């Protein structure tokens, strides 16, 4: 029963922010005639305005994000070609990450390294967890299984550490980069500021929720190994 309660809490922590973020994006995704340009056009304009001319903008089907390796702001089709508050705010948020990279801000660099490390950590951790029954059967030493569990738990747990630096990075991209740009350049009117703040908050939490998905993997393995 305690593990079931823990699993429910973990699922709520993961999917609650994701649901709220997607709901917020949909709520403000309606095209508006008073928005003069698309999200893709705004992203290109903001990059030029901030003299970040080494970064490009393109459409993607893999979700809105900034790729520091390719130096590319990538926007989903609805935000790249859309003229909505969501398109404008999300585009500005991803440009915020490009600005962080351009300024060589250490927190973004740390997150980029951690994401790569966490990706491989999850793979190694899953392999170690999967090998526990086999190793215990071959060696007939229970401690060997425990050792593999600890190593696997630590490896997979690396992914959960990513969110510790993800939230400050995302919050900075939304509220220290994107919002001042949108307000200072008069890209949004005062009556839309509250909605834009909600969208920027949702954009920041999207990555945190994705990072927390690793907790669900750990819970699944713990439940599996208890059988």
Written as six digits, the tokens of 133 are: 């029954």
Any idea what DSSP says for residue 172?
A: I
What Å distances lie between residue 74 and 16, 67, 71, 147, 203, CA to CA? 25, 7, 10, 42, 14
- Residue 170 appears among annotated catalytic residues: no
Burial code of 36-62, b = ≥16 C-beta within 10 A, e = fewer? eebbbbbbbbbbeebebeebebeebee
- From the list 95, 75, 97, 72, the residue with the least C-alpha distance to 87 is 75
What does the alpha-carbon distance between residue 12 and residue 24 come to, in Å, rounded to a whole number? 18
Q: DSSP per residue over 30-91, as a string?
A: S--TT--S-HHHHHHHHHHHTT-TT-EEEE-SS-SEEETTTTEEEE-HHHHS--SHHHHHHH
Cβ distance 75 to 25 under 8 Å?
Answer: no
- From the list 134, 129, 135, the residue with the least C-alpha distance to 149 is 129
Q: Which of 58, 78, 94, 190 is catalytic?
A: 94
Q: Point out the residues that are catalytic.
A: 94
């Amino acid at each position: 029963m305690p593990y079931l309660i823990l699993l429910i809490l973990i699922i709520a922590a993961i999917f609650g922010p994701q649901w709220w973020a997607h709901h917020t994006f949909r709520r403000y995704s309606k095209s508006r005639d008073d928005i003069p340009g698309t999200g893709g056009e705004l992203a290109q304009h903001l990059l030029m305005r901030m003299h970040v001319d080494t970064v490009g903008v393109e459409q993607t089907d893999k979700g809105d994000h900034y790729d520091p390796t390719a130096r590319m702001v990538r926007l989903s089709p609805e935000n790249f070609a859309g003229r909505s508050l969501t398109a404008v705010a999300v585009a500005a948020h991803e440009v915020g990450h490009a600005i962080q990279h351009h300024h060589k801000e250490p927190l973004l660099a740390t997150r980029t390294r951690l994401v790569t490390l966490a990706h491989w950590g999850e793979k190694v951790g899953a392999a170690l967890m999967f090998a526990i029954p086999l190793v215990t059967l071959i060696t007939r030493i229970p401690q060997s299984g425990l050792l593999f569990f600890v190593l696997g738990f630590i490896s997979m747990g690396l992914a959960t550490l990513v969110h510790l630096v993800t939230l400050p990075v995302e919050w900075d991209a939304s509220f220290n980069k994107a919002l001042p740009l949108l307000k200072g350049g008069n890209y949004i009117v005062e009556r839309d500021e509250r909605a834009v703040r909600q969208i920027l908050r949702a954009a920041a939490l999207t990555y945190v929720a994705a990072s927390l998905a690793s907790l669900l993997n750990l819970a699944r393995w713990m439940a599996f190994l208890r059988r």
